[in-house]
Structure 1
Amino acid sequence: MSAAPVPATGRVGGYRWRICALLLAATTINYIDRQVLGVLAPFLQDEIGWNEIEYGYIVTAFQAAYAIGLLCTGAIIDKLGTRLGYAIAISIWSLAAMGHSLAATVGGFMLARFMLGLGEAGNFPAALKTVAEWFPRRERALATGIFNSGSNIGAIVAPLLVPVIAVTWGWQAAFLFTGVLSATWLVTWLVLYRTPEEQPKLSAAELAHIRSDPAEPSVKVPWLQILRHRQAWTFVAAKFLTDPIWWFFLFWLPKFLHAEYGLSLLGLGLPLVIIFLAADVGSIGGGWLAGRLIKRGWSVNRARKGAMLVCGLCVVPIIFAARADNMWVAVALIGLATAGHQGWSANVLTLPSDMFPRQAVASVVGLGGFAGAVGGMLIATFTGFLLETTGSYVPVFLMASSAYLFALAVVHLLSPKLAPAQLETPRAQA
């Protein structure tokens, strides 16, 4: 039985934050699992014998599955429910992560990466749905921000943890260990998770607090209707043009640092940690800057694009990293760029809610995520061919340095005022 939607008073309890902690752990593991290959890539290349083009294909396999998963998993999770849907997603990616340890050929790694991408695509749709089930609207932004920070935590933990495991027990152990982390989370999830109405440890006061919002209309907006609006293409274009740069950072930075500066497996840890710590700072700073500008009286349109401009300018100097004689200069420039990307993303991810009604936001986000994953496929294949034929990272860094300002120009062209989209409302039944 559902609690009445009345405001809770007094102390309501904090069981919902335990659920948020589970989401944080899942997102952290999600990013650790996807980063293992990137950290080990320079050394697996010698071990397995793949070339740059084949590594590009391996990364593309992950991106392709991730794109497919983003289109499909939301509907599957809606149908099966959060508990079972999330469990299936993490079961797939846990088995796929451990399956990497059995791969001995390019084809084997491509299969393992494809299955990993398919499973990992379910993390964010499931986590966002869980937040909607367990938190009133006024707390959802905070809960989402907490669990989403796991993406940066995972990007920091992987280069610290994976090299030590690989050097001590072999590269296969790194994949097995992260797969075991996923499996451990799965058991914990199945034991602890129930919907709020079914959770016996939840107090009546906290349940009333969770259900204190007015009932939300559940109206599905077809994709074809959404895509008729320039506002949707604004978000799709922003993701397509800039998400691939982040995927490049995740999967190619270890190879770049190894190739250009001769870093050992253990030596990669500190530079990568610094780079992704900078990304964490940028993620917070980009959101803070836009909010600060709005508080100073700027319009949402001007503040959002102003913050995006600052973040885009932070990425421009990365072009000099490709030829930096000193590794720490390159690390500083790349760290500035990752901070710029995450600050940019913090603002781009608000565009759907800036321009679309609530019932359409999830669909717009899914379309943009698909576009970003497709862009990631293209840059993975392109980078593989580029490095195999020229051995130079300069063209990729050049693309990265210009992508954000170009994307901002496209955003402004498509939505000069970030005006809300006027969607058709369903006609009342006669």
Structure 2
Amino acid sequence: MHHTETPAMPSLSRGSIGDKIRGAFAVGRTRWVMLLLVFLATTLNYIDRAALGIMQPILAEKMNWTAMDYANINFWFQVGYAVGFVLQGRFIDKVGVKRAFFIAVLLWSLATGAHGLATSAVGFMVCRFILGLTEAANYPACVKTTRLWFPAGERALATGIFNAGTNVGAMLTPMLLPLLLSLWGWQAVFIGMGAIGFVWVTAWAIKYYNPEEHPSVRKSELAYIQQDPEPEQPQVPFSRILRMRGTWAFALAYSITAPVFWFYLYWLPPFLNQQYNLGISVTQMGIPLIAIWLSADFGSVGGGILSSWLIGRGVKATTARLVSMLIFACTIVSVVFAANASGLWIAVLAIALAVGAHQAWTANIWSLVMDYTPKHLVSSVFGFGGMCAAVGGMFMTQIVGHVLTATNNNYAVLFTLIPTMYFLALTWMFFMAPRKVETVED
């Protein structure tokens, strides 16, 4: 690999937001195209999984599901997700993100389409298990792509942008599903969603390359991406990864907070429908959910901008991430007021603030693990943490089902517990997160 002289690096500490954006594009745009690809994958990922929550009233009526049937369907998705996270993360580091992500999206698209053939709760459990097993590749692959293509000062922003795809997917689903259900029926909706995945797979196969291999990346952009070089380290057994301090710093903190998003994704539609009798139409259920997920988009990108701005002002990366996470944890307290809100839009506002802050939190915890993890191991470390989070999500769905059954569908206890989870996770990260890139000891 050859280099030209190192380009001037865009300043994150001076000038307007517009100046910073223009500066970020000045050295080249290829990395943003790569980011667009993983953003679209994340959007597709969440359309495929969020559809079940929107269609739950229809499917529950047609198949006589109970609250525990629905909880068990989501539980088996989490089982597949937990197993898939650790397997997919390791697979991505071994064979490369291009090949591994191609296979994963191809398989999860087939699994999505298979939902249209299910005729019982058990059938949906099988389909959700396979979907979870394959969709687990999304975040390790996105994090790996971001780690490869972006320097530290841009990682939180890039992470916030691709993670905004979760909210775009969750927002598009209530916008489009009522119309598609009326035109096609629920079986064809699942098959159609699966077909969209094949379009993305084709684009990924044609467009994605790692930075050093990309045929059209500018030398100035490649030098900018690699401005913080790190020594080459060999692949290591998974047992050594489990001895890294950063692996456990991330795994426990993420397993405490990530299940909250599963709660929002799976249980917000039933909660709003129960409390305010909304139905599933765009005007009734769709608009409140769109407002919530739109705020999550702002939180996801804004959370990345905040820590990137702090880094640009001279704050160390780890400190910038932790300070940002503290601010967002305080914001999440708003969700306590949702359960007993006096009106729909007061509840929506309380939930929207919390969901937006959650996504901002997530952009920073993911960036933090990228900061201290060697790039050739980042998918493995993230995959292990994701597995732990998915196990936490399995317990979350069961806890939610039992709490709602025991309290006659009262959500107050659940909304009250949520903020404490973030303060616990933040305390753990403060004491355990490494302050520089870890080396793997023999």
TM-score of the superposition, structure 1-length normalised? Answer: 0.85
For residues 106 and 380 of structure 1, the distance between their equivalents in structure 2, rounded to whole angstroms, comes to: 16
- Quick check: 2:297–2:356 contact (8 Å CA) kept in 1? yes
2:413 paired residue among 362, 371, 395: 395
Aligned equivalents of 2:159 and 2:47: distance in 1? 19
Q: Are residues 223 and 410 of structure 1, via their aligned partners in 2, closer, same or farther at CA, if it must alter by over 3 Å?
A: same
The 3 A distance-change label for structure 1 pair 38 and 216 is: farther
Correspondences of 1:92-107 after superposition (within 5 Å): 92-107=107-122
Secondary structure at the residue paired with 1:98?
A: helix
Rate the CA distance shift 1:361–1:14 in 2: closer, same or farther, 3 A: closer
CA contact (8 A) 1:66 1:118 kept: yes
Give the drift of 1:117: 1.0
Alignment of 1:122-161 (within 5 A): 122-130=137-145, 135=149, 137=151, 141=155, 144-161=159-176
Q: Is the 8 A contact 1:51 1:388 kept in 2?
A: no
Distance (Å, rounded) in 2 between the aligned partners of 1:421 and 1:139? 15
Tell me if structure 1 keeps the 8 A contact 2:78–2:132. yes
- In structure 2, C-alpha distance between the alignment counterparts of 1:4 and 1:399, rounded to whole Å: 54
Q: Is contact 1:42–1:254 with CA below 8 Å preserved after alignment?
A: no
Name the SS for the 2:218 alignment partner. Answer: helix
Query: 1:351 & 1:138 partners in 2: Cα distance?
Result: 10
Q: In structure 2, do the counterparts of structure 1 residues 105 and 243 end up closer, same or farther at CA, with 3 Å as the change threshold?
A: same
Q: Which residue of structure 2 lines up, in the alignment, with residue 56 of structure 1?
A: 71
The alignment status of 1:252 with 2:267, answered yes or no, reads: yes
**Which deviates more, 395-404 or 334-343?**
395-404
Q: Who is 2:249 aligned against?
A: 234
Amino acid in the other structure paired with 2:120: T
User: For the aligned residues, what is the CA RMSD?
Assistant: 3.1
Following superposition of structure 1 onto structure 2, how do residues 396-415 of structure 1 map, counting pairs within 5 Å? 396-412=414-430, 414-415=431-432
Identity within the alignment, %: 39
Alpha-carbon distance change, 190 to 299 in structure 1, aligned in 2, over 3 angstroms: closer
Contact 2:31/2:150, CA 8 A, preserved across alignment: no
How far apart are residue 22 of structure 1 and its match? 2.8
Which stretches in structure 2 are left out of the alignment for 5+ residues?
Answer: 9-25
Q: Quick check: 362-371 or 65-74, which moved more? A: 362-371
Deviation at 1:421, TM superposition (A): 7.5
1:76 corresponding residue in structure 2: 91
The partner residue of 1:206 within 210, 218, 224 is: 218
Residue 130 and residue 306 in structure 1: after superposition, are their counterparts in 2 closer, same or farther (change >3 A)?
closer
Find the counterpart in structure 1 of residue 297 from structure 2.
280
Go from structure 1 to structure 2 and tell me whether the alpha carbon gap of 1:422 and 1:131 turns closer, same or farther (over 3 Å shift).
closer
> How far apart, in 2, do the equivalents of 1:138 and 1:309 lie?
20
The answer to whether the 8 Å contact 1:196/1:207 transfers is: no
Q: Against the structure 1 CA distance between its residues 169 and 56, is the aligned structure 2 distance closer, same or farther, given a 3 Å change threshold? A: same
- Tell me which amino acid in the other structure corresponds to 2:426: L
The answer for the alignment partner of 1:44 in structure 2 is 59
Query: What is the Cα deviation at residue 182 of structure 1?
Result: 0.8
Give the 5 Å matches for 1:187-202.
187-193=202-208, 202=215
Instruction: Tell me whether 15-24 or 94-103 shows the greater mean CA deviation.
Output: 15-24
Count of residue pairs brought into register by the alignment: 418
- Tell me if the contact between 2:109 and 2:197 (Cα under 8 Å) persists in the aligned partners: yes
Pair 113,296 (structure 1): closer, same or farther in 2 beyond 3 Å: same
